[in-house]
């Protein structure tokens, strides 16, 4: 019986270790490598040609979808997507019959996803890869067409999932590889990059005022001049945010045409 060669891709070391630990219970699966970022994953997929990739969706700089685009959907092996909070992506995976794991996932859910992909590979590797390529291409097309702007965010807090409508978010701050969502006096930490989040938010609603700050324009109460052409924004709840660098120019453009 052929062994299934697997690659594990996740920028969180603990997440990678968990997948690797669970794979020890799958004796027919051979781990051929692990990657901590998207660029490394693209290179490993091309060089190692694995049968299966556990692919984290939210990674800094190059995310899971960009990995698929870089490799090419038709050349991608079977994929089990791993996601922490992107509810739109989960819906898309289900529509296109793609396997996914929603963090934190239990052992039995992991085993079911692996068994499904294993069966598909063994039924016929050529056919399985062709089906997978068509599903991935369809997914990417949908993400570009329908998923332009987020409407809701699902965040995990205290062992539960909280759903936030985007308009509820007051402002967003970058914290390393995470983002802090401030909403109605509460804050929630999610994994992702400011660049990726900005691309998924409606620019008529959210303004990038600093390399580490996005603000909901409906929450701005007052704008005051600051040093060297920069500004201080005072939000409706009293929060004070400062502009920075090239992003200050975007605020000035907004002030010239705020409606």
Higher pLDDT, 104 or 96: 104
Whether 97 shows a pLDDT value over 80: the answer reads no
Give the chain's domain count. 2
Whether 120 shows a pLDDT value over 60: the answer reads yes
The winner for highest mean pLDDT among 47-56, 114-123, 134-143 is 47-56
Q: What is the DSSP letter of 105?
A: P
Higher pLDDT, 85 or 219: 219
Same domain for 157 and 200, yes or no, is: yes
Residue among 58, 60, 127, 55 nearest 98 (CA): 55
Residue among 209, 217, 211 nearest 241 (CA): 209
Same domain for 8 and 102, yes or no, is: yes
H helices within the chain, ranges in order? Answer: 13-23, 38-48, 64-71, 87-95, 107-123, 125-145, 194-200, 247-256
Is residue 58 a contact partner of residue 35, using CB atoms and an 8 Å limit? no
Same domain for 29 and 118, yes or no, is: yes
Structure confidence by residue, pLDDT tens digits, 208-218: 999 899 999 99
Of 93, 119, 145, the position where a domain reaches its end is 145
Count of alpha carbons within 13 Å of 222, Cβ hemisphere only?
9
Token pair for residue 27? 């004796």
Judged by DSSP in three states, 104 sits in coil
**Strand 178-183 relative to strand 186-191, pairing:** antiparallel
Residue range(s) defining the domain that contains residue 130: 4-145
Higher pLDDT, 147 or 159: 159
Region 99-112 average pLDDT: 91
pLDDT at 127: 41
Region 46-58 average pLDDT: 92
Region 176-200 average pLDDT: 86
Percent of the chain with pLDDT over 70: 88
Region 153-172 average pLDDT: 81
Same domain for 168 and 230, yes or no, is: yes
Token pair for residue 241? 């945010």
Is residue 143 a contact partner of residue 92, using CB atoms and an 8 Å limit? yes
Region 116-132 average pLDDT: 67
The confidence band for 150, taking pLDDT boundaries of 50, 70 and 90, is confident
Region 198-214 average pLDDT: 88
Higher pLDDT, 248 or 202: 202
Left if phi > 0, otherwise alpha if psi is -120 to 50, otherwise beta: which for 185? left
Of 116, 145, 174, the position where a domain reaches its end is 145
pLDDT at 231: 87
Same domain for 140 and 167, yes or no, is: no
Q: Which residue do the tokens 């989040």 mark? A: 197
Same domain for 68 and 178, yes or no, is: no
Same domain for 116 and 169, yes or no, is: no
CA separation, residue 53 to residues 4, 34, 64, 126, 144 (Å): 10, 10, 11, 16, 22
């Amino acid at each position: 019986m052929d062994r299934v060669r697997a690659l594990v891709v996740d920028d969180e070391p603990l997440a990678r270790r968990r997948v690797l630990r669970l794979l020890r219970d799958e004796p027919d699966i051979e781990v051929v490598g692990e990657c901590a970022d998207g660029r490394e994953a693209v290179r490993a997929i091309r060089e190692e040609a694995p049968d299966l990739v556990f692919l984290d969706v939210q990674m800094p700089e190059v995310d899971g979808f960009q990995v698929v685009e870089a490799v090419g959907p038709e050349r991608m092996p079977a994929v089990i997507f791993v996601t922490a909070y992107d509810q739109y992506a989960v819906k898309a995976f289900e529509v296109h019959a793609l396997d996914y794991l929603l963090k934190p996932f239990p052992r039995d859910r992991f085993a079911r996803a692996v068994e499904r992909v294993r069966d598909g590979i063994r039924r016929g590797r050529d056919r399985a890869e062709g089906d997978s390529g068509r599903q991935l291409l369809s997914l990417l097309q949908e993400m570009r067409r329908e998923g332009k702007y987020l409407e809701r965010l699902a965040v995990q807090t205290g062992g539960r999932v909280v759903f936030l409508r985007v308009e509820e978010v007051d402002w967003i701050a970058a914290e390393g590889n995470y983002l802090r969502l401030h909403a109605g006096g509460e804050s929630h930490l999610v994994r992702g990059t400011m660049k990726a989040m900005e691309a998924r938010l409606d620019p008529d609603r959210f303004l990038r005022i600093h390399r580490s700050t996005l603000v909901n324009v409906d929450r701005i109460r007052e704008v005051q001049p600051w040093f060297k052409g920069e500004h201080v924004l005072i939000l409706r709840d009293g929060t004070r945010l400062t502009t920075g660098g090239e992003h200050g120019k975007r605020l000035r453009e907004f002030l010239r045409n705020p409606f």
